[in-house]
């Protein structure tokens, strides 16, 4: 059973190794892992970023969102797995064969499938995928479960709907688009608070700016992380009591 702290995936959405180092040094004891995305991976380079986080006692979630033909995804998955990351992800929209290529080469890492990005609203989802976020996330999630993925990445808004389907119970459910009441929603469209997301069935929460750039009245990043962990703990206790 994960602790409340371990359920927090802090997003290192910065552009320099120096910025990343400051945050990892401060937050490593208070979060489960650091989600490293395209911004930092591109500006610094994946090997350096992963090495830095590991050297400071942190775990890495590699948010590369692989989305390519099966051979390219498979070969890239081998490289990422060799970094010793906790997890990496692949877009479900890349197709089942690409997802299976990632899974076949995951090593000791977990593979999470990205369903529908939390920045996409209903109208845009229909224009891209031909359906609303809920049904599309369900279709992607079923494929990911059948392919053997370890988990899915979805909006917290889809959690309750997805948890109605027993065939998805095996999947870890990772949710970005999580914003405490005291934080701005920024560019996220389908959001919940940490407590709401846990109550809806989330396993882990990806949280960036509310932790790395919290409002001044909240204090430094560590205080933001502690507040969120307390909210998660309360939601877990309430969920277990029902």
Angle, nearest 10°, between helix axes 96-104 and 70-82? 30
Q: Going by DSSP bridges, is the β-strand pair 87-91/33-36 parallel, antiparallel, or unpaired?
A: unpaired
Bridge partners of residue 113, in order along the sequence: 90, 152
Provide the Cα torsion 75, 173, 31, 233; round to 10°.
Answer: -170
Q: Residue 53: what are its φ and ψ, rounded to 5°?
A: -60, -45
The three-class DSSP label of residue 219 is coil
- Per the CB < 8 A criterion, the answer to whether 107 and 86 are in contact is no
Distance CA 205, CA 207 (A): 6
Give the catalytic positions in this structure: 65
Residue of 195, 208, 152 lying closest to 175 (CA atoms): 152
The three-class DSSP label of residue 110 is strand
Measured between its terminal Cα atoms, the distance across the chain in Å is 18
Write the CB contacts of 166 (distance below 8 Å, at least 6 apart in sequence). Answer: none
């Amino acid at each position: 059973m994960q602790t409340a702290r371990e359920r927090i995936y802090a997003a290192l959405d910065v552009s320099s190794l120096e910025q990343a180092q400051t945050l990892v040094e401060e937050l490593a004891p208070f979060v489960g892992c650091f989600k490293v995305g395209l911004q930092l991976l591109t500006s610094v380079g994946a090997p350096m970023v992963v090495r830095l986080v590991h050297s400071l006692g942190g775990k890495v979630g590699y948010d590369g969102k692989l989305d390519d033909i099966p051979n390219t995804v498979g070969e890239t998955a081998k490289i990422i797995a060799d970094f010793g990351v906790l997890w990496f992800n692949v877009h479900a929209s890349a197709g089942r064969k690409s997802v299976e290529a990632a899974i076949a080469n995951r090593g000791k890492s977990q593979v999470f499938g990205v369903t529908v990005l939390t920045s996409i609203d209903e109208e845009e989802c229909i224009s891209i995928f031909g359906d609303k976020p809920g049904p599309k996330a369900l279709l992607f999630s079923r494929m990911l479960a059948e392919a053997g993925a370890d988990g899915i990445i979805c909006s917290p808004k889809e959690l309750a709907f997805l948890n109605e389907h027993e065939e998805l119970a095996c999947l870890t459910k990772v949710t970005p688009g999580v914003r405490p009441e005291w934080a701005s929603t920024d560019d996220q469209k389908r959001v919940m608070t940490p407590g709401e997301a846990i109550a809806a069935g989330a396993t882990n929460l990806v949280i960036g700016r509310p932790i790395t750039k919290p409002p001044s009245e909240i204090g430094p990043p560590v205080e933001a992380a502690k507040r969120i962990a307390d909210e998660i703990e309360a939601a877990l206790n309430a969920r277990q009591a029902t």
